[in-house]
């Protein structure tokens, strides 16, 4: 058998390759990916920088080529590879065809080789931005020794990574080796708290919390598995739910409550429950049943439910459930009361009664207002009359006062005139008396001077004046002139030295008086 027979037959057959695509025509512009597959008898392909391809020869052997490179083909199949790039906040999850899994943290680039890789995914890292965020991570730990990968698996994907050094590539290759599944394994758990960036390694996975929750639009129905998340918030959180309640007089209604809680212990929560929200709902239902026995529809209508529902003492079972799950209940707020048909009827009846009462009150207020207006009008009229009477009395009193003031002024004027007349008369009398006294005094002075001259003359005649004067009380009393005896008693001192014929100076006091 000629070994070249197949080759000759292939050369004589017409070409069966598909027509070139737009990516081949625009080789210098576009990057080709895994959709580009060609079977080439003989030719070449240019693999640009940023592209990679895998080539199978006629024997089925393959080789991976990373551009830039020109590949000459001879009865070969070429397929370009999909390019996967991870940013610094992403990582590459690689599932090899051997079943091994590899994790490559970005920034990194890897071409998906269908011979080596089953699947390559670009995933986001888990970023814990605050100290109140926590992540639960499980790690599979093997008791046996790790096994090394085969030669086919070791180098190609790791060498294709961009941005990794030799040591990092070696670490990534070791991480991708995996463990022998026949060895005994155990799982450890650790809690990572922020701020941190988590990239799962081989054999690591995060805990996915699947909790019950409210499904829109109705918040009263708790649906299992609605809440799915990986990152726990340990700071203060709020939980809003609708709780049904029935009063002691059998009136149903719904309340919208918002609870404030905080996760105190992650370990306690993981060990005690897988769905704490479902347990909270059961505790809340028990508390609402107990509260309904102490609440009447009148309390709801009077809006007195807020004082009952806004205290933690009203929810002891919910507090106990939260504490058993590692949470603490910090507060509760009553947002709204959703009335049922029965409560709506009560509301309408109460509203009708309130309307009737308001109408009666309005009528009573209108009557009272009319009475007040009438009383006010009467009071104003009486006040006006009293004011007019006061004004009349005031005018009369003012007129009387004016009349009295005029009379007093006239009397005062008369009194002043009489006083002036009396004063003038008295002054006139005093003046007359003064003039009379002055005249009498002048006359007396003249008589005294006359007597003095008489005595001087007697002295000049050598008459003993003492004896002469002493004889005034006897029978031979010298009679003086009548005017001298009428003088007011006065004492005069005069000297007779001037009298002619006097021998010496003699001073004689003479008492002169007037009867």
Predicted pLDDT of residue 347: 66
Predicted pLDDT of residue 484: 44
Q: What is the pTM of this model?
A: 0.54
* pLDDT, tens digit, 9 for 90 and up, residues 337-353: 876 666 666 666 766 77
- Crossing angle of helices 316-324/276-292, nearest 10°? 160
Predicted pLDDT of residue 344: 66
**Contacts with 379 (C-beta within 8 Å, 6 or more apart), sequence order:** none
Look at the alpha carbons of 388, 390, 393, 397 in this order and tell me if their dihedral is positive or negative: negative
Confidence check: pLDDT of 66 > 50: yes
* pLDDT, tens digit, 9 for 90 and up, residues 102-122: 999 989 999 999 999 999 999
Give every strand in the sheet of 90-96, ordered side by side: 101-105, 90-96, 117-124
* pLDDT, tens digit, 9 for 90 and up, residues 405-424: 899 999 989 999 998 999 89
Confidence check: pLDDT of 19 > 60: no
Higher-confidence position of 162 and 131: 131
Residue 424, token pair as written in the block: 């003038």
**Residues in a beta bridge with 70:** 46
Predicted pLDDT of residue 341: 66
* pLDDT, tens digit, 9 for 90 and up, residues 185-239: 688 999 999 899 999 998 899 999 999 987 766 666 788 888 999 999 999 999 9
Return phi, psi of residue 34, to 5°. Answer: -65, -15
What mean pLDDT is predicted for residues 484-493? 46
Give the CA distances from residue 387 to residues 246, 392, 394, 402, in Å, rounded to whole numbers and listed in that order: 68, 9, 10, 22
Predicted pLDDT of residue 248: 80
Correct CATH for 209-339 of 3.40.190.10, 3.40.50.720, 3.60.21.10, 3.30.479.30: 3.30.479.30
Distance CA 116, CA 176 (A): 13
Higher-confidence position of 480 and 240: 240
Which ranges in the chain are annotated with CATH 3.30.479.30? 209-339
Confidence check: pLDDT of 12 > 50: no
- pLDDT, the chain, mean: 78
Confidence check: pLDDT of 24 > 70: no
Predicted pLDDT of residue 305: 79
* pLDDT, tens digit, 9 for 90 and up, residues 164-179: 444 445 444 544 444 4
CB 287 within 8 A of CB 257: no
Distance CA 55, CA 62 (A): 5
């Amino acid at each position: 058998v000629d070994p070249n027979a197949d080759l000759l037959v292939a050369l004589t057959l017409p070409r069966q390759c598909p027509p070139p695509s737009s990516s081949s025509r625009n080789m210098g512009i576009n990057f080709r990916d895994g959709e580009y597959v060609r079977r080439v008898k003989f030719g070449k392909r240019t693999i640009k920088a940023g592209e990679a391809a895998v080539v199978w020869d006629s024997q089925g052997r393959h080789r991976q080529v990373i551009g830039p490179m020109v590949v000459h083909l001879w009865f070969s199949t070429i397929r370009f590879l999909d390019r996967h790039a991870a940013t610094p906040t992403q990582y590459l999850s690689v599932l090899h065809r051997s079943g091994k899994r590899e994790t490559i943290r970005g920034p990194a680039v890897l071409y998906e080789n269908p011979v080596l890789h089953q699947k390559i995914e670009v995933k986001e890292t888990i970023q814990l931005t605050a100290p109140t965020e926590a992540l639960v991570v499980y790690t599979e730990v093997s008791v046996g020794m790790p096994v090394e990968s085969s030669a086919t698996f070791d180098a190609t994907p790791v060498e294709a990574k961009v941005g990794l050094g030799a040591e990092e590539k070696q670490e990534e290759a070791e991480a991708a080796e995996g463990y022998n599944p026949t060895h005994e394994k155990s799982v450890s758990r650790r809690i990572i708290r922020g701020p941190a960036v988590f990239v799962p390694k081989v054999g690591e996975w995060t805990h996915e919390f699947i909790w019950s929750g409210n499904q829109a639009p109705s918040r009263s129905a708790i649906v299992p598995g609605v809440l799915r998340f990986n990152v726990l918030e340990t700071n203060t959180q709020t939980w809003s739910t609708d709780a049904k309640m029935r009063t002691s007089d059998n009136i149903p209604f719904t309340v919208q409550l918002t609870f404030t809680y905080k996760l105190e212990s992650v370990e306690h929560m993981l060990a005690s429950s897988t769905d704490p929200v479902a347990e909270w709902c059961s505790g809340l239902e028990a508390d609402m049943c107990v509260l309904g026995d102490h609440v009447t529809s009148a309390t709801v209508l009077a809006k007195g439910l807020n004082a009952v529902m806004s205290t933690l003492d009203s929810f002891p079972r919910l507090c106990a459930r939260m504490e058993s799950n590692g949470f603490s209940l910090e507060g509760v707020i009553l947002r709204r009361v959703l009335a049922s048909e029965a409560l709506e009827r009560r509301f309408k009846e109460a509203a009708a009664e309130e309307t009737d009462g308001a109408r009666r009150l309005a009528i009573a207020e209108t009557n009272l207002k009319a009475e007040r207006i009438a009383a006010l009008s009467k009071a104003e009229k009486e006040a006006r009359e009293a004011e007019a009477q006061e004004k009349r009395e005031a005018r009369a009193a003012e007129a009387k006062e004016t009349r009295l003031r005029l009379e007093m002024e006239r009397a005062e004027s008369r009194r002043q005139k009489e006083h002036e007349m009396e004063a003038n008369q008295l002054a006139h009398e005093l003046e007359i008396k003064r003039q009379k006294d002055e005249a009498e005094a002048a006359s007396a002075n003249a008589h005294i001077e006359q007597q003095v001259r008489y005595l001087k003359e007697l002295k000049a005649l050598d008459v003993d004046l003492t004896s002469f004067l002493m004889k005034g009380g006897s029978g031979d009393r010298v009679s003086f002139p009548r005017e001298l005896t009428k003088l007011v008693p006065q004492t005069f001192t005069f000297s007779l030295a001037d009298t002619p014929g006097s021998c010496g100076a003699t001073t004689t006091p003479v008492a002169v008086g007037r009867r």
